[in-house]
Amino acid sequence: MRILAIREKTVALGSASRNSSIGFGGMTASALAIHSDAMRDGRPVVGLAFDSIGRYGHGGLLRERFISRLAEASPESYSDGSGGIDPHKAWALVMADEKPGGHGERCGAVGLIDAALWDLKAKLAGVPLWKLLAEVSGQATDGHVPVYASGGHYRDVDDIKLLCADISRAVDEGHRRFKIKIGGVTLAEDVARVAAIHALLGPGMSLAVDGNGTFDRAKTLRYVDALAPFALAWIEEPVHPLDYDLHREIAAASPLPLATGENLFSRDDARNLLRHGGLRPERDMLQFDISLSYGLVEYLRILDDLETHGWSRQRCAPHAGHLFAAHCVAGLGLGLAEVAMDQASLFGSLTAHLPLHDGKAVLPDRPGTGLETCPPFQTIFEDLLQ
């Protein structure tokens, strides 16, 4: 099998929503298509990937460094020896001549290529990605994945009313786990938001909150004290993601579970969090974003480190809210997948079509990631398939 072309483009994800850290008006993402000379059912096999959200697109890095390293490589250098592709070999080619450390923005560019390679590999094997990953990892799965609905961004008008409407609609759709933002208004206003949602939740339902890394120690402890009566599933990223000492202090003082990791983008950073962050393997959650962290090849190394440090894969809930991450959760035996509560947005529409019952989504059974089944498929990929 030979890679014939690699095409990318930047996609606008802009919306009027905001959290305590950033607004999403100018947000972008990248889409990628890896064209091969392999044929299935009379059609060329193309590996597809769509970005995560929150770090913008990677077009410059893809064009200037990473695409050419793979596109110009010999087929033998990325072959799996049986007519398919080896993402681990391809990852090494893409990362050639890259210095260790100082990971910066390159992690997302490499992760996007990695996601397209795994989609290509699964399509060549004729199986959905979740099934391929289950075979790789030795996990048992039927393609049903536990999910939580993420949203609760702030509105300038009728915020609580609209938030409650969002949660009620998500409950009707089959969701049982939810996450909303905190820190963008006063503590009293945030407590009112949490209380309003808490009153809507039935037995077996849960709520988490997300501070987006903007709190200091004193503010975090005030929030922990105020929110403790609600028995939240977790309080996410209350403090800066790289302040491991402060994480350790908060973990020692908080009766609430903590969640963090979505803004750590390498095995190195994940390992430092495990060593120095004071997190509790029996209750806290790890949310490393697979696509933004050099991809699945690197994430498998992170999983090895988790085992060394006594963590269960069930404590992993990767940040993202897209199909690729959901396949990884199902196929690798992780705890939870994130999906966007706002299904009308472009990003939210990527998973809006998945059948959902009692907090579990059913992943596509077609070969690959199944991006072709998404409502916005043509909008995102049509010009990359020419």
Catalytic residues: 181, 319
Cβ-Cβ contacts under 8 Å for 62 (sequence gap 6 or more): 8, 30, 32, 109, 112, 113
Amino acid found at 255: P
As beta bridge partners, residue 149 has 178, 339
Residue 106 has φ and ψ, to the nearest 5°, of -65, -25
Residue 22: its H or E element: none
CA–CA gap between residue 121 and residue 82 (Å, rounded): 11
Longest dimension (CA), the chain: 62
Instruction: Strands of the chain (E only): list them.
Output: 3-12, 28-40, 43-50, 144-150, 177-181, 206-210, 235-236, 258-260, 285-286, 337-340, 356-357, 360-362
Residue 382: its H or E element: none
163: which 2 tokens?
């938030």
CA–CA gap between residue 338 and residue 54 (Å, rounded): 14
